[in-house]
């Protein structure tokens, strides 16, 4: 295993400079910092966390945000952070945020975040089905929890929302209105939360005796423009759907714009259901039927579970699953013409 002296020699700096870079202290030029970090990664240098822990906890929790310029303005993230900060502060902990960039992707940033020794534990957002961050943190013995289901094969504490159950609620609502051609606009399949959405969708159709039509299932991103593209593709089908379930309100907003532009009345000609219940959902035209995602509660439970792991007094609590509620508004209605075929 590499030593700090070996890192310093390879990077042609002093051991103090290496320490400054890893701890985020001192005055170091950006060029030097990048050179040191490159050598740290090359040699897979690991600081002595055990020695650091003997000096006491930082009482700081770390959270790495994805490399999305608009993520900090996301109302869902704001709600999660509000709940997380409240629960952390109640137990004497602080929150330290770091945002990934193209130069420092999440995996690299998470590693550097831990190496600084400035956080006692880490929360992982947007967990993927194969997530290198989870394996790394587990290998290093760093307390961490996942916001969402962890990758298969990793016994990681997590807090999740019952996406499968939520989609079942939405599908039963649409099926009860007589809809049979129901489209699903999914988030990227590499996200761990995506598969439960598909499971709920297919289970509802199977129970209703309806075959799953692959042409009605699209995978897209989170933004409104993704909803625009997906809805245009659905309208171009020889037999477009009479109802659409979008696994993001932002995607639903994009789909709603396309329907308006095409002269389709949302709620009468095509029913539309979103996913998240962001504040704007209640103020669209028409107001959007959507699944309420309890982000603030998610943040509260994430902080409590992570602190419990750090302090070692909730070893038996491995997961929390929160329920979703369907908020019915004006964007859903009976199948046009009463046709249930």
- Across 121-131, average pLDDT: 83
Is residue 40 domain-shared with residue 176, that is, in the same domain? no
State the pLDDT at residue 50: 43
Handedness of CA 102, 108, 114, 120 (dihedral sign): positive
Angle, CA 83 vertex, CA 81 and CA 87 arms, to 5°: 115
Q: Which residue, among 73, 85, 93, 160, has the nearest Cα to 125 in the 3D structure?
A: 160
Number of domains in the chain: 2
* 191 DSSP 8-state letter: B
Q: What is the mean pLDDT of the chain?
A: 86
Number of Cβ within a 10 Å radius of residue 284: 20
Return the CATH number at 176. 3.40.50.2300
249-261 vs 224-235: helix axis angle to the nearest 10?
A: 50
Higher pLDDT, 250 or 36: 250
Residue 259 maps to a domain:
yes
Q: Structural domain of residue 18, as residue ranges?
A: 1-45
Q: What is the pTM of this model?
A: 0.79
Two structure tokens written together for 215: 């042409």
Instruction: Please tell me the total number of residues recorded for the chain in this structure.
Output: 341
Residue 19 maps to a domain:
yes
Share of the chain above pLDDT 70, in %: 87
Give, rounded to a whole angstrom, the gap between the first and last alpha carbons of the chain. 66
Does 30 score more than 90 pLDDT? no
Residue 311 maps to a domain:
no
């Amino acid at each position: 295993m590499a030593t700090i002296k070996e890192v310093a020699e390879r990077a042609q700096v002093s051991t103090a400079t290496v320490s400054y870079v890893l701890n985020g202290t001192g005055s170091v030029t950006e060029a030097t910092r990048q050179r040191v970090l490159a050598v740290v990664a090359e040699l897979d240098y690991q600081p002595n966390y055990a020695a650091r822990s003997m000096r006491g906890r930082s009482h700081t929790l770390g959270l790495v945000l994805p490399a999305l310029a608009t993520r900090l303005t996301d109302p869902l993230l704001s709600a999660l952070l509000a709940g997380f900060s409240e629960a952390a502060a109640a137990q004497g902990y602080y929150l330290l945020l770091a945002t990934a960039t193209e130069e420092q992707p999440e995996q690299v940033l998470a590693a550097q975040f831990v190496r600084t020794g400035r956080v006692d534990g880490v929360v992982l957002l947007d967990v993927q089905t194969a997530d290198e961050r989870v394996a790394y943190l587990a290998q290093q013995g760093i307390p961490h929890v996942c916001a969402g289901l962890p990758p298969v094969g990793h016994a990681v504490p997590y807090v999740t929302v019952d996406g499968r159950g939520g989609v079942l609620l939405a599908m039963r609502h649409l099926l009860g209105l007589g809809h049979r051609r129901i489209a699903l606009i999914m988030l990227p399949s590499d996200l761990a939360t995506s598969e439960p959405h598909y499971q709920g969708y297919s289970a509802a159709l199977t129970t209703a005796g309806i075959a799953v039509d692959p042409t009605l299932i699209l995978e897209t991103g989170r933004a409104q423009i993704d909803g625009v593209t997906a809805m245009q593709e659905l309208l171009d089908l020889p037999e477009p759907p009479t109802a659409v379930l979008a696994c993001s309100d932002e995607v639903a907003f994009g789909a709603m714009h396309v329907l308006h532009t095409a002269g389709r009345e949302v709620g009468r000609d095509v029913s539309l259901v979103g996913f998240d219940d962001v504040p704007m959902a209640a103020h669209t035209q028409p107001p959007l039927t959507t699944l309420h995602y309890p982000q603030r509660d998610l943040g509260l439970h994430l902080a409590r579970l992570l602190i419990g792991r750090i302090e070692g007094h909730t070893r038996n609590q491995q997961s929390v699953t929160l329920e979703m509620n369907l908020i019915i508004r004006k964007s859903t209605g009976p199948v046009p013409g009463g046709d249930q075929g």
